């Protein structure tokens, strides 16, 4: 499903497929944590929102670093945040904070974001160390 990113057409962080998926995931997390039981579990709500924001933020920040290895480090942090989101989504499902379909959609989105971010990371690690 995911291939090596085409960096030729990328002008800003918003052009990255990985960032687009992370952003969409963040938006969905904020929607389901705004109402219902998830909104009242403050620790959970804040934790998953922080992880969801961090995933998109790290890709954005990394994109504007001068060297590819620096960007790769931020992709690695994004992967960590996405892993945390996947774990928190499982918690949300077990606590009935999300429906089965919301869980499935969120999990698929998180896995796709993870795949795109992983491919971007691999691409960046193949670049010359100072390029």
pTM of the complete model: 0.89
> Which pLDDT does position 7 carry in this prediction?
63
Distance, in Å, from the CA atom of 40 to the CA atom of 36, rounded to the nearest integer, reads: 7
Lowest pLDDT segment from 6-15, 27-36, 120-129: 6-15
Q: What is the average per-residue pLDDT within 78-87? A: 98
67 touches 124 (CB < 8 A): no
């Amino acid at each position: 499903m995911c291939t090596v990113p085409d960096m030729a057409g990328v002008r800003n962080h918003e052009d990255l497929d990985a960032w687009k998926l992370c952003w969409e995931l963040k938006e969905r997390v904020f929607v389901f944590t705004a109402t219902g039981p998830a909104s009242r579990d403050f620790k959970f709500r804040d934790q998953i929102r922080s992880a969801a924001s961090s995933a998109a933020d790290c890709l954005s920040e990394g994109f504007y670093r001068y060297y590819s290895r620096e960007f790769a480090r931020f992709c690695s942090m994004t992967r960590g945040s996405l892993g945390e989101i996947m774990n928190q989504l499982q918690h949300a499902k077990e606590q009935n904070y999300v429906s089965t379909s919301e869980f499935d959609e969120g999990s698929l989105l998180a896995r796709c974001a993870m795949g795109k971010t992983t491919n971007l990371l691999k691409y960046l690690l193949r670049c010359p160390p100072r390029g």
